[in-house]
Structure 1
């Protein structure tokens, strides 16, 4: 229920930000901790020697050193005649460079279309989708396929991975609001990422986690039902892992799972404890231009009834079979 209230608060409070004809005021020399941003994802683009940061809201920030940022810029251009409608909400946007192009993986929501009602909760049309650009700062535009995932399932937080078979995949969450036990799934992408091939396959479920917990309406402690923010990585020893986020009661927390087979098919073994301190989550990994591995995540804090989310960086050691958080990183 806490998670549902957060979703409702977010959609009602920030809906005006998602209109594509809305132009934000661009500012320069903004410190990272002065930016309010959920699900921060940073692309270190060597071609332009620039860091590009995006996330929920669909806006883009730029920096040469990660100390000071310029933005935000509107970079996503969706089709108003598509299932998204003219003013889709944009969650958890990511930038990925692949085969000479830049791809924008994000969750789009059309609040005017209701696909289901479960336990009294209306579920809006929401799905992971991919846009493309020739440049890291866009504009990002639609490709051939208008639908990547089933219209009757709410999906979110799509990310990108090329598996050992050489094929590209989208890894995404099937949202708990409908199935009441969220999953993380994979689906094959076309070679140019312009659509999907076949059907999704479950990699693991929220209830598989030993660390995420909640209390039911009777006060009993049960496994949490939320899967959020997958991000794939390989350690320097070749171990395939996945960052993902859920809850430990009222705390938003980052966990990790590792694949025994070294492929997306797993099986996936969940770490017993979260990897970040409480109320840091939805993480991703990138290397600085100097080669340092960093984890980008947002802090999650209730301030006078409003949820405040601020990007943070952690230094990470991936020299062994498992990630180790070294500590907070200040550019």
Structure 2
């Protein structure tokens, strides 16, 4: 299964490399239905100040909508420093937008494919890390802040998200499974203005702790190695939860865990079963401008060896003690 996952990751990289070019000319289109957009790892922010929805994800581009149904874009909004460790043309994965203390922050994974940091089990690891950019506006441009590095240079990290606990900001992110062969979800405290990190990261849980994610290895069923797309939330009862994505054999799948202590430090208890249909994952939760809770995910379909990833919305219920995923939402 490990070889199969490596093959799948290679196909993903080959299939989407063109979207990462920061020099590619963009053609902005209007009135594009959500299911006509090709986008991995969709993240939507409902901005009350502008009465608009903004959607980003993998590729460093952004879409705008007034109603979640028809979208305008794409716009190039990320402006990383070409003289930094990211290089002149970094790949950008799983970008998120978060409003905090009057500014908008762009959490994303940046990869410099020209810098190799390690070789593990025959796999060459590129310089990849989570980083944060900032803007005064939800549609950018998003530019660097004070610290040039948020996480260790010799440790590939990905899929950063944001959480505040006891009035302190944190970055939640994944440790690359290709390095440790057992992916992690970790936290690290951020500076008050999010311009850098404080201290070291701490592992919250590992891929092997999940009862639902699995693969076959040497004819045996074993836990899957991948952690992907964490997103933290609270139910109406105050219970702290986290959705995250992995694989069930060759099927991209999302599950959920809950913190027994109600804090990021956990311990995190993994639910037994996935919460989304097969081949949907990398989810996040948001409230519409009218206050309705939705989950954004992407569908994950292989066509002739190439992945087709499309954003989708699902209704969710947070009124009880658990996250309940409902029917697809049609704006």
What does residue 159 of structure 1 align with?
A: 161
Q: Partners of 1:75 and 1:115 in 2: how far apart?
A: 28
Contact 2:314 2:325 in 1 (8 A): yes
Give the Å deviation of 1:166: 1.1
Q: Partners of 1:301 and 1:13 in 2: how far apart?
A: 12
Give the Å deviation of 1:4: 1.8
Question: After superposition, what is the alpha-carbon deviation per residue over 1:126-158, rounded to whole angstroms, capped at 9, x for unaligned?
Answer: 000000000000000000001000000010000
What does residue 305 of structure 2 align with?
A: 305
Q: Partners of 1:19 and 1:305 in 2: how far apart?
A: 22
What does residue 271 of structure 1 align with?
A: 271
What does residue 146 of structure 1 align with?
A: 148
Alignment of 1:11-22 (within 5 A): 11-22=13-24
Give TM-score scaled by structure 1 length.
0.98
Contact 2:298 2:311 in 1 (8 A): yes
3-state secondary structure, aligned to 1:211: coil
What does residue 188 of structure 2 align with?
A: 187
Q: Partners of 1:198 and 1:27 in 2: how far apart?
A: 44
What does residue 90 of structure 1 align with?
A: 92
List structure 1 segments (4+ residues) > 4 angstroms apart after TM superposition: none
Find out whether 1:210 has 2:211 as its counterpart.
Answer: yes
Give TM-score scaled by structure 2 length.
0.98
What is the root-mean-square deviation of aligned Cα atoms in Å?
0.8
Give the Å deviation of 1:6: 2.4
Gaps of 5+ in 1: none
What does residue 172 of structure 2 align with?
A: 171
Find out whether 1:281 has 2:281 as its counterpart.
Answer: yes
Gaps of 5+ in 2: none
Give the Å deviation of 1:308: 0.5
Q: Partners of 1:153 and 1:206 in 2: how far apart?
A: 17
3-state secondary structure, aligned to 2:11: helix
Question: After superposition, what is the alpha-carbon deviation per residue over 1:180-232, rounded to whole angstroms, capped at 9, x for unaligned?
Answer: 0000000000000000000000000000000000011x121100000000000
Q: Partners of 2:35 and 2:297 in 1: how far apart?
A: 12
What does residue 83 of structure 2 align with?
A: 81
Q: Partners of 1:37 and 1:2 in 2: how far apart?
A: 23
